[in-house]
Structure 1
Amino acid sequence: MSLSIELQTVGGPEVFATVNTVVPDPTPEEVQVRQTTIGVNYVDIYHRKGLYPLPQFAAVLGVEGAGVVVAVGTNVANFHVGQRVAYAATPPGSYAETRNIPQGCLIGVPDDLSNRLVGSSMLRGLTAQMILRRVHSVSAKEFVLVHAGAGGLGQLVSRWATQLGAIVIATVGSERKIAIAKNAGAKAVFLHSDPNWAKKVIEFTGGQGVHLACDGIGGNMLKQTIACIRPFGTLANLGQPAGAVPPLHVEEIGSIKLSQPSVIAYIKNIADYRLAATDLFSALRSGLINAIGAEYALTDAALAHTELEAGRTTGSTILLPT
């Protein structure tokens, strides 16, 4: 039997139910994993609320985790029982003690990295790699603006960009988060509730604007951020917890590059997935810190969602099976 957290219907965290199920044997192309670390991400909230519809109910949420292989399908050649593995952006289902996963979704965890570190870093880490390597190849001394700089993705992007020699500017939602963003590498931090934050960003860059801006807020923040980008710079929208981005006219975008990159689309290509994971593991070995801001028992998934959605967490959020 495997304990899992099922979503009975769309709605608030109260729609979760704790159930025990029998996990079937893996199909020929699947690997059965007993999980040790389960990542909680904002995309899980979008699934729970129905913004990203799921194909059926009851459903188990979660697209990130790490664990140990306990069984393999007959066509699986690259994984073996006892091996440590991690994954991101699989079909949802990680809020469970044990699950079956298509072998193409799995990455072997190197001996010198822990399941806790890798399992809490995969989705955000691969997203950060996509932003800093594929969306805009960040160079030393470039200016990078990171919204929600105290959040899980914001901290990871800030730390990695700093590791690459960039100069990070962050915005945060409260005074208490300023120190967190600075600890993650930001050289300047502004409250995004400050009506003059965009002007202050431009002033900090000597009037030139930033080379790259990462908007994980959405709503009206994206339109305000356009003014902070230097000509031919890049603006990436990575989430919309503040609501959908209002329509833009092409003349409002001007000469900048605007994208809404999807890490799920990025790593559908198995070769890109493995190369990005290798790059992430190398960065983790080189001192990239992924701060875990909150951890909960698997049975407290509803509380984890409540705190994350309310903006009361910083860093990554994980669930731990019993």
Structure 2
Amino acid sequence: MKKVLGLAAAGLLATTAANAGQITVANTDITLFGGVSAAYNAQDNDHVLSLGGFSKDGFSVNNVIVGLTKPAQDGGIGFTAAFGSWEAPTVVASSDVVNGRFIGLNLIGHGKTTEFKPWLAFVTYKPVAGLSVDAGLLWANFGERPVTILNPHITRGVLFTANPVVMAGARASYDAGIAKVYVGTGKVGAQLMKPFYENFLIVIPKTYIEAGITGNLKQVGLPVDVGLHTYNEAGGRDIYALTAGGDLGIVSLGLEVNYFKADKVLKAAQGNSDSAWGAALCANVKPMAGIQIPVRIEYADAKKSQLIPTIADTINGNSVWTFTITPTYNPTKNTFIRAEVSYVNSRHHTLWWCICSLQRSRQ
């Protein structure tokens, strides 16, 4: 059982020019964005690792994010850079686990999330209309965003812990109007769980490739966006993801279904199963202006593999289901007050999260 209580207060990353959303730095097309949040947390233990008897309470800075972006025009070059320090609480493991405070190993290859550094930084070249090439530190095109202020929930879901999330490489994208396609490649290094596979399983994939296609079903009268994505590491993990979502007015819905497969090298090192899967169903009910109620329901089955490391049990197998609800009040466009409750049930543990958060962001 884990209980976390939090009360957070946040302020705007602002300069005089940021109030208008732009600053002048030799180019009036550069936009400043960012957000700050701080919280008080009381926690009596940690899930997954069965850290009973552990206690922690105190204030923490959950997000300090500041960035600059300049969109690329046809035939030109743009960029995006976001620097920050952020906590990464998930429904199955706290930010302390993610940042190696208990097991002595960061779970994100790019480093501790609480270190102020670039977490998104890439240059964009747009040679012709519809075609763009990004190169640098990128985020995966599927799954939840790393930082809280870009998500409807305070905690990240269990599927987040098994996705690559962050990667260093290049990605080409083409927008054909009714559909968008992308393909990318790079070095395996910055990804979530890369240090775990390398240090515990002695599996060191060198490169990855990714590809995907997204489109909408408006032609058949459905306000739904769908996507197919694949992420493959040479000698590591392969991930296949189906995504779908749409805004139905008072409620918006989203679905993500992931299938995880181990390559031969990883299969030999990581357990008694070579596959795992999970699904997340998200809904955001908006009963009135300024009020929204995001809900996330997940099921994940790691079987007897290490493909979802935060819930893995290679002897007996393990599966979990999670429920998260986050009533949210938006006093203004760039502010929100959240109260969140998460429930997680697995074959081995049951846990509750309770968090209150007041945050503000600006772009």
TM-score for the superposition, normalised by structure 1: 0.29
Higher strand share: 2
Higher relative contact order (CA 8 A, sep 6+): 1
Between Structure 1 and Structure 2, the one with more helix by share is 1
TM-score by length of 2: 0.27
